[in-house]
Structure 1
Amino acid sequence: MKSCGIIAEYNPFHKGHQYQIEEAKKKTSADVMIVVMSGNFLQRGEPAIVDKWKRAEMALASGADIVIELPVAFSVQPADYFAKGGVALLQEMRCDVLSFGTESGTAEEFQQFAADWLKNEEQIEAAFQQFKNNGGTYSEQMQQAAESVLSKHSLDLQLPNTILGLAYAKENSRYRHPMLLEPIQRLGAGYHEKQLQKTSFQSATAIRKQLLEQQISGQISNVDKQALKAAVPAKVFNILVDSQLVDWNAFWPFLKYQLIVQSEEQLRQTYQMNEGIEYRLKEFVTQAENFEHFVELVKTKRYTWVRLQRLFTYVLLQFTKDIADEALDGPKAIRVLGFSAAGQQYLSQIKKSVSIPIISRLHQKNKDLWEIDIQAGKIYQLATGEVTKEQDFHRLPLRKVEA
């Protein structure tokens, strides 16, 4: 069976994601579409708007055949580590093709750029250190570093999906048998667009903003309701409107508690807690009126909003430097969240060739393989209020009901 893999967050799943799955399947003639999906905490340091099971259900209903979970150690990371975890899992799944959305670039351009990058990695890193404190964003600095070392290229490293695509291509190139690449051109609204547009392909950012505003106000206009309905598949819309939605505000009391009770020395053990930022956190935590106010008080040119959100997630999860050193070696297991009939057949086909365990059900004997994510799931439940329904223990993979 030919397989095509996608690394995603689906926060939430929308018609742009559905288009990507359909196009990737058509272009690669894949029998099975495998999605490696972030769990309950995401790359930009945010909690998912709905939990991993609901997002896996959305993906299965919209063309995915297998959904496996990207461990939180990799899911709350900049592009390179995010790609490391996702590509490692697709390699374990014996995936033939890696597909990703991008604003620009062909498979050949990504492959060539990745090869040039890896060949000149030390020089690029040295150049990056020179640009590091010039006041630009990380992506601007990395673009400058790459352009100072590599020959001219057409990939724009300031575009978010292109950055991720390059990270996937670089990581994929490290393997003895790399997957083929299949970029899919991104359509519709921009990645960071905060307002719903007159298009079927909306940004996840705009959809989340609209949904959360609706939850706060308790109402939604007919115009906005129709725009949301047009932006997501029908089943996804029904899941979203019936769910308790989550954002950082729901975790603010828990983060505030952690920052107050932990000493500076304890906070320094947190992964990515560097440069004395712990003193700034302790100084402002009791002054902040809410989460957004806290971030505004703390952020600097070096500590951007996204970097702080990731740091706060590490504090919330008590993800320390020692834990990170071990966890970031690579995924310890393949955690299956759901599958179709074709997906189940594919899992049976590859199960003897994988080098790490496939987990379809967590229990006392295998819990050590998923310990960090089990804790992350319990913390996520604090915000949803669904204390009677575990995120991990005793949860069997979802089975797609075939039409």
Structure 2
Amino acid sequence: MQACGLIVEYNPFHNGHAFHIEESRKASGADCLIAVMSGSFLQRGEPAIIDKFHRTKAALSAGVDIVVELPYLYAVQSSDLFAQGSVQTLNEIGVSSICFGSESGDITQFTKSYDILKQKNAIYNNTLQKKLDLGFSFPEASRLAYQDIGLAASEFDLTKPNNILGFSYVKSVLDYSLPITPLTITRINNDYHDQTITGSIASATSIRRELLKEQDIPESAASALPNETLLQLREYKLKAGVWHSWEAYFQLVHYRVMTMTEHELAKIHGVDEGLENRIKKTGQDVTSFHEWVNKIKTKRYTWTRLQRIFVHILTNTTKTDVHQIKNAASVPYVRLLGMTETGQSYLNTRKKNMNVPLISSLAQGKHPLLSIEEAASHAYYSILPVDKKKAFHHQEIEPPIKV
């Protein structure tokens, strides 16, 4: 069986994701689609609106055959580490291709750009560092460095979020010489950061924005969501009592910061250049998460970067923790969240040839990354009422979902 990999977050699963699944199957000709999905917290430093198990059910019902979890240390990171963990996970489970959505839609632009970057890497790194020293954010400094080596926006726009992620996926495949063919399809009808819903295919950002305004699912959001996603959203809200957003964690992360010393804060991954002092100082009189981030945000420290830092504060993820995955040749395990009958057939033939353990619960391994995963899970469910927390934590040791 041939497998194609998808790198996803499904926050929540929407009609655009269903289109991606359909087109990926066509483009790859694969028998089995395998999604590596962020768990409790996401690449841009946000809590998932519903937990990974309900998102897994929605994905499996829509045509994904296997869902595996991207370890937390890779998931809440900038594009390069996020891509490294995602691509290495898919490689371990044996995909022959990956297919991602992009604003470009032309894979040759990604591979040609990679070749240019390899040839002019010294110039790129030199410009990047100069711009960072001038106080530019990493995305802006990187854009200017790409421009300096001839990767002009008019030819291949590396300011677009899906192009950025896609380029990172292609770099990971080629840097590690993996036997994976990268494929891309054009993202249609909406932009990644669109704030409003204008049709049946809308950005996850706009859908979450509408969901978090209401107690129930508004018609505008419902029109952009498959029926199974509607079911999983309502089921999770009924059982947990919440849809997750940063404001629900404000009191907890505020308590964490205000009871930590500057020295302890400085050990947290992403807290650099004296930022611990600014975080502590601004925390003294803020009343919401949104207000807090706005007070800290600068040209250099973007909203996304600060959200990631706050996730790491919440989970007590240190620079030392993250150091263990940088430049790692592979992920230490693959965690299975769910599968269909097709997915189970694929795993029955593949798992004996895997170089790392295939696990389905936090109780099955002793790797340090699993301890960090457990901490992330506890942090994620911490906002639930006491009588509900235990039931949701129990999911971490249950067998994988089968549909």
State the TM-score, normalizing by the size of structure 1: 0.93
Pairing 1:315–2:308 present: no
What's the CA shift for 1:307? 0.9
CA contact (8 A) 1:333 1:369 kept: no
Corresponding residue for 1:230?
223
Query: Aligned partners of 1:359 and 1:195: how far apart in 2?
Result: 39
Structure 1 equivalent of residue 361 of structure 2: 361
Q: Deviations over 1:262-301 (max 9, x none)?
A: 1011111111111111111111112001111111111111
Query: In structure 1, what residue type is equivalent to 2:50?
Result: V
> Is residue 281–residue 298 contact of structure 1 (8 Å, CA) maintained in 2?
yes
The residue that corresponds to 1:345 in the other structure is 345
- What RMSD over aligned residues (CA atoms) do the two structures have, in Å? 1.8
One-letter amino acid of the structure 2 residue matched with residue 12 of structure 1: P
Amino acid at match of 1:184: I
Q: Which moved more, 1:333-342 or 1:99-108?
A: 99-108
- Once the two structures are superposed, the pairs formed by residues 225-374 of structure 1 within 5 Å of their partners are 225=219, 227-242=220-235, 243=237, 244-328=242-326, 329=328, 330-363=330-363, 366=366, 368=368, 370-374=370-374
Aligned position for 1:5? 5
Cα 1:327–1:176 shift into 2, 3 Å = closer
Question: Are the structure 2 counterparts of residues 177 and 309 from structure 1 closer, same or farther at C-alpha, using a change threshold of 3 Å?
Answer: closer
Of the candidates 388, 398, 403, which is equivalent to residue 395 of structure 1? 398
Q: Distance in 1 between matches of 2:84 and 2:178?
A: 15
Q: Percent of counterpart pairs with the same letter?
A: 35
After TM superposition, the structure 1 stretch with the greater mean CA deviation from structure 2, 168-177 or 130-139, is 130-139
Which secondary structure state, in structure 2, belongs to the residue aligned with residue 50 of structure 1? coil
Partner of 2:170: 169
The aligned counterpart of 2:26 is 26
Cα deviation per residue 1:215-269 (whole Å; 9 max; x = unaligned)?
A: 3xxx66xxx41x2222011110121133220001111111011101110111111
Q: State the alpha-carbon separation in 1 of the partners of residues 134 and 201 from structure 2.
A: 36
Instruction: Return the offset for 1:113.
Output: 1.4
SS at match of 2:383: helix
Q: Is the 8 Å Cα contact of residues 117 and 150 (structure 1) preserved in structure 2? A: no
SS at match of 1:238: helix
1:179 aligns with 2:175: no
Change (3 A) 1:364 1:182: closer
The answer to whether the 8 Å contact 2:269/2:319 transfers is: yes
Matched residue, 1:212:
212
Partner SS for 1:36: strand
DSSP-derived class of the 1:99 partner: strand
- The answer for the alignment partner of 2:130 in structure 1 is 130
Question: In 2, distance between residues paired with 1:39 and 1:300?
Answer: 28
TM-score normalised by the chain length of structure 2: 0.93
Unpaired runs of at least 5, structure 1: none
CA distance in structure 2 between the aligned counterparts of 1:367 and 1:138, rounded to whole angstroms? 31
- Tell me how far 1:172 sits from its aligned partner: 0.7
Q: Distance in 2 between matches of 1:369 and 1:295?
A: 28
- Number of matched pairs: 392
Contact 1:362 1:392 in 2 (8 A): no
SS in 2 for 1:231: coil
Secondary structure (helix, strand or coil) at the match of 2:353 reads coil
Structure 2: how far apart are the matches of 1:22 and 1:351? Answer: 26
SS of match in other structure, 1:184: strand
Question: Is the CA contact (8 Å cut-off) linking 2:137 and 2:301 kept in structure 1?
Answer: no
- Contact 1:195-1:206 at 8 Å conserved across structures: yes
Q: Secondary structure at the match of 2:272?
A: coil
Q: Measure, in 2, the Cα distance between the counterparts of 1:309 and 1:247.
A: 12
Work out the CA distance in 2 between the residues paired with 1:343 and 1:188. 31
State the distance in 2 between where 1:346 and 1:119 align: 39
Structure-2 separation of matches of 1:284 and 1:274 = 16
Aligned equivalents of 2:127 and 2:112: distance in 1? 20
Q: Partners of 1:177 and 1:283 in 2: how far apart?
A: 46
Shift of 1:344: 0.8
